[in-house]
Amino acid sequence: MGFPSAALLASAACTFVLPLLLLLAAAKLWALYCLRGRDPACPLPLPPGSMGLPFFGETLQLVLQRRRFLELKRRKYGPVYKTHLFGRPTVRVMGPENVRHVLLGEHRLVAVQWPASVRTILGAGCLSNLHDGRHKQRKKVIMRAFSREALEHYIPVIQEEVSACLKQWLASSCSCLLVYPEVKRLMFRVAMRILLGFRPDQAGADSEQHLVEAFEEMIRNLFSLPIDVPFSGLYKGLRARDVIHAKIEENILAKLAGKEPTNGYKDALQLLMEHRQSNGEQLNMQELKESATELLFGGHETTASAATSLITFLGLHPDILQKVRKELQEKGLLSNINQEKHLEMEVLEQLKYTGCVIKETLRLSPPVPGGFRVALKTFELNGYQIPKGWNVIYSICDTHDVAELFTNKDEFNPDRFMTTFPEDASRFSFIPFGGGLRSCVGKEFAKILLKIFTVELARNCDWQLLNGPPTMKTGPIMYPVDNLPTKFTSFNGQV
């Protein structure tokens, strides 16, 4: 009779006790790992915070909860705290002075290092993943595509695409338009024409939609666990990226064969190709595809987010929309005779209040929530040690929230930007395009694009947000959860 009892005890031990012991051992090893991250040569403590589950850290909570997770962390631990994300011990940083310390420490204290999934999907050859001389050289080439002269060539193209899109919205018999996917499609067309030099509609609407869907799938899985197995986020992201790369390669081959029509300007991809050829370098197809994919990502996802937020804030604040229209009227942009007139750089630069509306939109809803760095050496920040090798995330949205430069922070008030802030005080209080050596290479392009969009929207459309103020989510770009259902009608031209 004793033998079966012993067998049952052994079975119970294998079933319950052994897994429990393994779990406790894993937790102990995890705790030792987290403590070992501290640099013993530095007397300062680690930032407050928690490291989450063994091995997984807090990545799952971030992926599932996004903004809510970050808000809870900020309230609990303050402007500098530790966590464990995407397989790495991480310090999250916010506030103008803290962010200043990080961004001005490029190459000295920190270096750019995106999570492994981002590096894998976007590739080692894109600008965001380059360092030192290669980064400086590549950025210099790409900046030529965003010079003032180049931007002047882009204005008619942008206006053409925006005007055509708004006419479709107004002509639609549907009383409810989902704004966010429509704006993403518009911005994708603009980016394809200007940054890559061809029109998506050359391949047909179905091909364009297929590319848009592939981009959405890639971006949805950009920040995922670095595990490339079927049905994982990384796996789906890579498959979607391959679809995009195939289309870009087709475009590159057409350029090399001289089949692409000239548009009076050189797109960013063309400039990259010419730079390599002029230096006697052999064209690296993979690097070109990676650079083009990054340009498309930066050139349409972020502007689509900002344009959707512009529609939101102007829809919620008709008095501000009227002030925009009054400015347009003063510049002769509301009268019927000028309704189809091509916009010019000089006129756009004179639209100061419209520019302030865009700035206020980017303050409250920055499309990109932050940036990734890695500590090159242990350094001090806000009284804590940031150990060498740890990831450092600086937060854009939280920095805007806590910046003392802005009063009544939750209020949408473009007039706050009509006053010129002292540069030293505002430099890292308002950072929608990042800052330092790695500030957004296409920020001037984004500003012009958003200003043209705002002008055409204000002088052609009235609209009503059918669900009121939307709930915003970050994934990884800021967007409305309900896609912003809206009813558009024609504007009668009366201010």
In DSSP notation, 321-386 reads HHHHHHHHHHTT-SSGGGTTPPP-HHHHHH-HHHHHHHHHHHHHS-SS-EEEEEESS-EEETTEEE
Instruction: Tell me, yes or no, whether 434 lies in a domain.
Output: yes
pLDDT the model gives residue 6: 66
pLDDT band at 484 (very low <50, low <70, confident <90, very high): very high
Query: Which of residues 484 and 251 earns the better pLDDT score?
Result: 484
Summary count for the chain: helices (H), strands (E): 20, 12
Q: How many CA atoms lie within 13 A of 257 on its CB side?
A: 8
Per-residue tokens: 80: 């500098």
Instruction: Tell me, yes or no, whether 53 lies in a domain.
Output: no
Model confidence at 17: pLDDT above 80: no
In DSSP notation, 300-318 reads IIHHHHHHHHHHHHHHH-H
pLDDT tens digits, one per residue of 229-287: 888 899 999 999 999 999 888 888 888 887 655 556 678 888 778 877 777 777 788 88
Tell me if 287 sits within 8 A of 245, measured CB to CB: no
Q: Residue 379 carries which side chain, given as an amino acid letter?
A: F
Instruction: Tell me, yes or no, whether 32 lies in a domain.
Output: no
Query: Which of residues 129 and 14 earns the better pLDDT score?
Result: 129
Task: Provide the domain limits for residue 188.
Answer: 59-490
Instruction: Tell me, yes or no, whether 38 lies in a domain.
Output: no
Q: Which of 62-71, 297-306, 439-448 is least confident?
A: 62-71
Q: Classify burial at 220, counting beta carbons within 10 Å of its beta carbon; exposed 0-12, middle 13-18, buried 19 or more.
A: middle
Model confidence at 485: pLDDT above 90: yes
Per-residue tokens: 436: 């330092």
Mean pLDDT of the chain: 86
- Angle at the Cα of 297 from the Cα atoms of 210 and 451, rounded to 5 degrees: 105
Instruction: Tell me, yes or no, whether 27 lies in a domain.
Output: no
> How far lies 87's CA from each of 55, 227, 371, 438, in Å?
7, 11, 17, 24
pLDDT the model gives residue 116: 86
Phi, psi of 81 (to 5 degrees): -150, 160
Residue 238, number of CB atoms within 10 A of its CB: 16
Per-residue tokens: 419: 């006053």
Tell me if 260 sits within 8 A of 198, measured CB to CB: yes
pLDDT the model gives residue 14: 60
CATH number, domain containing residue 356: 1.10.630.10
pLDDT tens digits, one per residue of 378-397: 999 999 999 999 999 999 99
Q: How many domains does the chain have?
A: 1
Model confidence at 360: pLDDT above 90: yes
Query: Which of residues 137 and 409 earns the better pLDDT score?
Result: 409
Residue 53, number of CB atoms within 10 A of its CB: 15
Phi, psi of 196 (to 5 degrees): -110, -10
Using DSSP's 3-state secondary structure scheme, residue 14 falls into helix
According to DSSP, the residues that pair with 106 across neighbouring strands are 110
Instruction: Tell me, yes or no, whether 16 lies in a domain.
Output: no
Model confidence at 339: pLDDT above 90: no
What is the C-alpha separation between 455 and 477, in angstroms, rounded? 24
According to DSSP, the residues that pair with 53 across neighbouring strands are 57
Mean predicted confidence (pLDDT) in 365-372: 92
Instruction: Tell me, yes or no, whether 7 lies in a domain.
Output: no
Instruction: Tell me, yes or no, whether 6 lies in a domain.
Output: no
Q: What is the reported pTM? A: 0.86
